[in-house]
Amino acid sequence: AFKAAVLIQQWYRRHVARLEMRRRCTWRIFQSIEYSCEQDQIKLHNFFSYLMDQFTPSSSKERDFISRMFVSGESYKEAELEKYCDYESIEVPDSYTGPHLSFPLLPDHATALLEAFQQKQQLHARYVLNLLHETRKHLKQLPNISHVSTCYSEEITVCGDLHGQLDDLFLIFYKNGLPSPSKSYVFNGDFVDRGKQSLEILVILFTFLLIYPKEVHLNRGNHEDHMVNLRYGFTKEVMQKYKVHGKKILRMFQNVFCWLPLATLIDQKVLIIHGGISDTTDLDMLEKIQRNRFVSVLRLKKRKESSGKPQIQAINGESESGTDAAPRLSLQPQTAQAPSTANRREFSRWLRQTVQEQIDTCRRLVDISESEPEELTYSSMVSLKDADEPCWTLQEEWKQVLDILWSDPMPQEGCRENKVRGGGCYFGPDVTEKFLEKYSLQFLIRSHECKQEGYEFCHSRKVLTIFSASNYYEIGSNRGAYVKLGPDLIPHFVQYQANKTAHLLTMTQRQGFLVALFAKISRVEESAFRALREKLFAHTSALISAFKSYDRDNTGKITLSNWATAVESVLRLGLPWRMLRPQLVRSAEDGMLEYKSWLDDLAMEQRSQEHIQSSLLEVIYRNRSNLETIFRIIDRDHSGLISFEEFQQTWKLFSSHMNIELTDDGINDLVRSIDFNKDGNIDFNEFLEAFRLVRQCP
Q: Cα 11–14–18 angle (5° rounding)?
A: 135
Q: Based on the shown chain and the rule CB under 8 A, indicate whether residue 1 belongs to the binding site for other proteins.
A: yes
Q: Rule CB under 8 A: which of 76-95 touch other proteins?
A: none
Contact assessment for residue 201 and residue 169, using Cβ atoms and an 8 Å cutoff = yes
Q: How far is CA 442 from CA 455, 462, 492, in A?
A: 18, 7, 16
448 is catalytic: no
For residue 665, the Cα-to-chain-centroid distance in whole angstroms is 35
Look up residue 295 and give its DSSP letter: S
Those residues with Cβ within 8 angstroms of residue 374's Cβ, 6 or more apart along the chain or in another chain:
310, 368, 395, 399
Q: Based on the shown chain and the rule CB under 8 A, indicate whether residue 584 belongs to the binding site for other proteins.
A: no
Q: Based on the shown chain and the rule CB under 8 A, indicate whether residue 569 belongs to the binding site for other proteins.
A: no
- Whole-number minimum distance, CB 212 to other proteins, in Å? 39
Output 16 or 697, the one with its CB closest to other proteins.
16
231 φ/ψ sector (left φ>0, alpha ψ -120 to 50, else beta): alpha
Q: Based on the shown chain and the rule CB under 8 A, indicate whether residue 11 belongs to the binding site for other proteins.
A: yes
Q: Based on the shown chain and the rule CB under 8 A, indicate whether residue 508 belongs to the binding site for other proteins.
A: no
Output 348 or 418, the one with its CB closest to other proteins.
418
Q: Based on the shown chain and the rule CB under 8 A, indicate whether residue 16 belongs to the binding site for other proteins.
A: no
- How far apart (Å, rounded) are the C-alpha atoms in residues 520 and 23? 9
The 518-557 contact track toward other proteins, x by CB under 8 A, reads ----------------------------------------
Q: Based on the shown chain and the rule CB under 8 A, indicate whether residue 578 belongs to the binding site for other proteins.
A: yes
Among 308, 390, 411, 698, which residue interacts with other proteins (rule: CB under 8 A)? 411
- Whole-number minimum distance, CB 310 to other proteins, in Å? 36
Contact assessment for residue 481 and residue 500, using Cβ atoms and an 8 Å cutoff = no
Number of residues that bind other proteins (CB under 8 A): 28
Q: How far is CA 354 from CA 67, 327, 334, 348, in A?
A: 9, 8, 11, 10
Output 9 or 673, the one with its CB closest to other proteins.
9
Output 339 or 576, the one with its CB closest to other proteins.
576
Among 89, 95, 307, 511, which residue interacts with other proteins (rule: CB under 8 A)? 511
Contact assessment for residue 189 and residue 220, using Cβ atoms and an 8 Å cutoff = yes
Q: Which of 133, 223, 245, 459 is catalytic?
A: 223
- Whole-number minimum distance, CB 7 to other proteins, in Å? 4
Contact assessment for residue 410 and residue 426, using Cβ atoms and an 8 Å cutoff = yes
Q: Based on the shown chain and the rule CB under 8 A, indicate whether residue 579 belongs to the binding site for other proteins.
A: yes
Among 59, 307, 412, 555, which residue interacts with other proteins (rule: CB under 8 A)? 412
Return the biggest CA–CA distance within the chain: 96
- Whole-number minimum distance, CB 566 to other proteins, in Å? 13
Q: Based on the shown chain and the rule CB under 8 A, indicate whether residue 576 belongs to the binding site for other proteins.
A: yes
User: Quick check: helix, strand or coil at residue 144?
Assistant: coil
The 360-399 contact track toward other proteins, x by CB under 8 A, reads ----------------------------------------
Supply the DSSP string of 373-411, one letter for each residue: ---B-HHHHHT-------S--HHHHHHHHHHHHH-EE-S
Q: Between helices 198-211 and 125-141, what is the axis angle to 10°? A: 50
- Whole-number minimum distance, CB 8 to other proteins, in Å? 5
Q: Based on the shown chain and the rule CB under 8 A, indicate whether residue 515 belongs to the binding site for other proteins.
A: no
Among 13, 77, 304, 349, which residue interacts with other proteins (rule: CB under 8 A)? 13
Q: Rule CB under 8 A: which of 18-47 touch other proteins?
A: 21, 24-25, 28
Those residues with Cβ within 8 angstroms of residue 650's Cβ, 6 or more apart along the chain or in another chain:
65, 627, 630, 631, 634, 642
- How far apart (Å, rounded) are the C-alpha atoms in residues 270 and 131? 31
**Residues classed as catalytic:** 223
Q: Which residues bind other proteins (CB under 8 A)?
A: 1-5, 7-14, 17, 21, 24-25, 28, 411-412, 510-511, 561, 564, 576-579
